[in-house]
Chain A
Amino acid sequence: MVNICFYFQVHQPFRLAPFQVFDIGSQKSYFDIEKNKAIMKKVASKCYLPANATFLELLNRYPEMKISFSFSGVFLEQCELYAPEVLASFQRLVKTGQVEILAETYYHSLAFLYDEKEFETQVKLHREKVQDLFNVTPTIFRNTELIYNNALARKIEELGYKAILLEGWDNVLKWRSPNFVYKPVNANIPLLLKNYRLSDDIAFRFSNKEWKEHPLSVEKFSGWVNDINGNGDTVNLFMDYETFGEHQWADTGIFEFLRHLPEELLKHPDNRFSWPSEVAAKCSQRGELDIHHPLSWADMERDVSAWLGNSMQQAAIAKLYSMGDLIKQQENSELLEIWRKMQTSDHFYYMCTKWFSDGDVHKYFNPYQSPYDGFIYFMNIFKDLQHKVQFQTVSNKGVILCQENK
């Protein structure tokens, strides 16, 4: 029996505005409102709306079909601001009762690596947002970019969650398969590992004409899933939801693939769809994983170097977190919220210099011309925020902030 476990990550950051040194002290907005709005609308029409329509149709046609989503809080917030129709279509999906929602940090941040208390607060804020919008309470945790280590396992177990999702990377699994549930060396919480080969066949390779399996048919893909019967308990297909229509454009045939996939998968009598919570509950733990260094699902390195690899990234994030205590003392919810939105991992990803010369995926998703621009704008905004905090500390008066109008 193979549990087919789909999880889709849905996230959009509040991108920062090109902010010059000479804008410091002005009332210019920190966030690029027009760009954020435009990207939300573009991705809504290319991905969220057509993909949601496809899934709604599939869930209605196959009552045994189950999928799971993780929405960042900043994504949900932008839905409310710029694309309420997208939020409504996700709510319709959840209402089918066939969708599980996972827990994460509200701000899609790297807080766990820098400030545990702040991390807990963001997990709580996320839970409240999901309860508020979907009327469900997540029990399974996935950290930003599937970043994971032993310490996270202990913390998440302590917080009462029932499982954690992570990357099924060969370097940590060695000879073992990602198609079983594991246990951390220092805790008991079940670990669900992404089958990155099969996941990436859809997410990255689907339209790659150089790939020897191109074009990927549902029959071929289902055959690979069927082969797991007898060799595994689960196949965890974890990917960005933007795979459908945004990373793989509609003209690649990705929606057709999706439309016919459940039918083909269900032809095998031992395949069944399961949520992460069901996989965690039903499958027994087949081994222990000891992971010290943070593992992620990004790049060939599967580490945190995409966000923290160079000295700009390290300096920017360290300075941001070092401001935490001061900003919390202000008791100014607006300043606090800005500080938190600056924690979103994407801001650090935009400063990534790995592979920049080759102009690959990092470049495609960068709203700025270069990682250096990403750093410069971030630091200028940080400096401006520092000024605002100091000003308030001295005068004890309210500060007018130009943020998006809610």
Chain B
Amino acid sequence: MKVLMFGWEFPPFNKGGLGTACYGLTRGLKNKNVEVTFVVPRAPKGITGKYVNLLSANDLSKFTFKEIISPLTPYMTQEEYHHMILSHSPSSKDNNLYGKDLFSEVERYAQKASLIATNTEYDVIHAHDWLTYKAGIAAKRVSGKPLVVHMHATEFDRTGGNGINQYVYDIEREGMHAADKVIAVSNFTKNKVIEHYGVPPEKIEVVHNAVDFPENTFSNEELGLKEKEKVVLFLGRITLQKGPEYFLYAAKMVADYMDNVTFVVAGSGDMQPFLINKAAELGIADRMLFTGFLRGRDIDRAYQMADLYVMPSVSEPFGITPLEAMRNNTPVLISNQSGVSEVINHCLKVDFWDIHDIASKMVSVLEHKELQETLLEFGGREIKKFSWDIPAEKCLNVYNNVVSTQKQQFQRIAI
């Protein structure tokens, strides 16, 4: 099986879970002898968010990496794109290479994609999230190969349902309707896709994400904070979708209730200034640490330093970070409004809006070592079951399904 895959980002230069998921999935597929050609936008020098192939050759024996010169990065809004193009030196000769706004850039990426699609050999096309759907559709048009689109997040998750961008919504809808199959990362997402995009349920397969083993261990010195204080961690983009303000309000309640707790907010995002100001206003600025955006080893370090990882997401299609925290032997508290809550049991679950419940559970974990022990003991067993081979197997089934369905259709036409 040969797959032409369109993505947004790839580790180590990923800004979120999408890159992690694409990386895990392609490695899982490699184990199943699936040949993947992975296409990502790449920014030239001078523009932030470079995409470079840093994978070892060994890792990529059945894996081809192609780049389209483009400044696209995931999680980017129209305003951010505009800002980035403007801030890029106007004298650069590169400048006219790019579309004047995010959306024309998406179109340009699609055009380039169809070039790759004509020059590459594959059986099926697999596109990850809206930004690549036009590319996927273009590839399908030029090659006639079946298209699978993968919903990692919907516009409704990103915006919390307020201020849906019609253009983004339309591309998501078009991509799913043009596709032969839609992969959703959870039932939570599947239901959203049925409800908001009118996709028939039988066209959607749920494939839950998985997680890798952590590669990093740390000395006690490196985890120093843990010695002195209890640590409660938020790690993710500081944006509405991730519910950082619920973390903050719960932190305030816990801080009033007990001493020796530090709240760490790791990540960056549009709500960071609000969060910093609010923490000061609530009088807990000294109890909250903002680390900024973390990468690689520092992420594992943050998890291992924490006594509890909290993901209070408002709308989380999947949510790989709780699995990463559990892999790092840290108990987790997650919102019921997440896909990952469908697949893990040995964790604490709350409704994101219920700050009393969040705070109460934070205190309970910090106060009762038996609770922490039991979460770790059984969570540790549970997390061992997650491997990227499982979602890869499910994707392979989807590929086989769409390929054989198309074959049958051709035969029928031939008869």
Chain A residues at the B interface, C-beta cutoff of 8 Å: 20-22, 310-312, 314-316, 353, 356-357, 359, 369-373, 375-376, 379-380
Write the nearest CB–CB distance from B411 to chain A, whole angstroms. Answer: 39
Say yes or no: A379-B349 contact (C-beta < 8 A), given A21-B359, A315-B370: no
The yes or no answer to B199 lying at the interface (CB within 8 A) is no
Contacting pair A357 B364 (CB below 8 A): no
The 8 A-B pairs of least Cβ separation, nearest first, read A20-B360, A315-B370, A21-B360, A311-B370, A376-B364, A21-B363, A312-B374, A312-B370
Chain A minimum-CB-distance residue to B364: A376
Say yes or no: A22-B359 contact (C-beta < 8 A), given A353-B346, A379-B368, A380-B364: yes
Contacting pair A21 B257 (CB below 8 A): yes
The yes or no answer to B165 lying at the interface (CB within 8 A) is no
Give the segment of B25-33, B204-212, B375-383 that binds chain A: B375-383
Cβ contacts under 8 Å, A370 to chain B? 345, 348-349
Contacting pair A357 B345 (CB below 8 A): yes
A314–B368 Cα gap in the complex (Å)? 12
Interface size class of B (residues with CB under 8 A): 20 to 34
Contacting pair A310 B377 (CB below 8 A): yes
Contacting pair B360 A372 (CB below 8 A): no
Write the nearest CB–CB distance from B359 to chain A, whole angstroms. Answer: 7
Write the nearest CB–CB distance from B210 to chain A, whole angstroms. Answer: 16
Contacting pair A376 B370 (CB below 8 A): no
Say yes or no: A369-B349 contact (C-beta < 8 A), given A311-B374, A315-B370, A356-B378: yes
Tell me the interface secondary structure of chain B in the complex.
Answer: helix
The yes or no answer to B357 lying at the interface (CB within 8 A) is yes
Selected from A310, A359, A379, the residue in CB contact (under 8 A) with B374 is A310
A312–B257 Cα gap in the complex (Å)? 22
Cβ contacts under 8 Å, B361 to chain A? 376
Cβ contacts under 8 Å, B347 to chain A? 372
Contacting pair B374 A353 (CB below 8 A): yes
Tell me the interface secondary structure of chain A in the complex.
Answer: helix
Selected from A22, A371, A372, the residue in CB contact (under 8 A) with B257 is A22
Chain A minimum-CB-distance residue to B361: A376
Chain B minimum-CB-distance residue to A359: B345
A21–B361 Cα gap in the complex (Å)? 8
Q: Which of A20, A357, A369, A372 has the most CB of B within 10 A?
A: A372
Between A and B, 23 residue pairs with Cβ closer than 8 Å are A20-B357, A21-B360, A22-B356, A22-B359, A310-B374, A310-B377, A311-B370, A311-B374, A312-B368, A314-B370, A353-B377, A356-B345, A356-B378, A357-B346, A370-B345, A372-B346, A372-B374, A372-B375, A373-B348, A375-B374, A376-B348, A376-B364, A380-B360
Write the nearest CB–CB distance from A317 to chain B, whole angstroms. Answer: 11
Chain A minimum-CB-distance residue to B331: A372
Cβ contacts under 8 Å, B346 to chain A? 353, 356-357, 372
The yes or no answer to B94 lying at the interface (CB within 8 A) is no
Cβ contacts under 8 Å, B382 to chain A? 357
A21–B355 Cα gap in the complex (Å)? 12
A372–B378 Cα gap in the complex (Å)? 11
The yes or no answer to B373 lying at the interface (CB within 8 A) is yes
Chain B minimum-CB-distance residue to A372: B348
A379–B371 Cα gap in the complex (Å)? 10
Chain B minimum-CB-distance residue to A373: B348
Chain B minimum-CB-distance residue to A315: B370
Write the nearest CB–CB distance from B291 to chain A, whole angstroms. Answer: 27
The yes or no answer to B223 lying at the interface (CB within 8 A) is no
Contacting pair A21 B364 (CB below 8 A): yes
5 further interface pairs, Cβ-Cβ under 8 Å (given A369-B349, A375-B370): A21-B364, A315-B368, A357-B378, A372-B348, A375-B374
A356–B345 Cα gap in the complex (Å)? 7
Cβ contacts under 8 Å, B356 to chain A? 20, 22
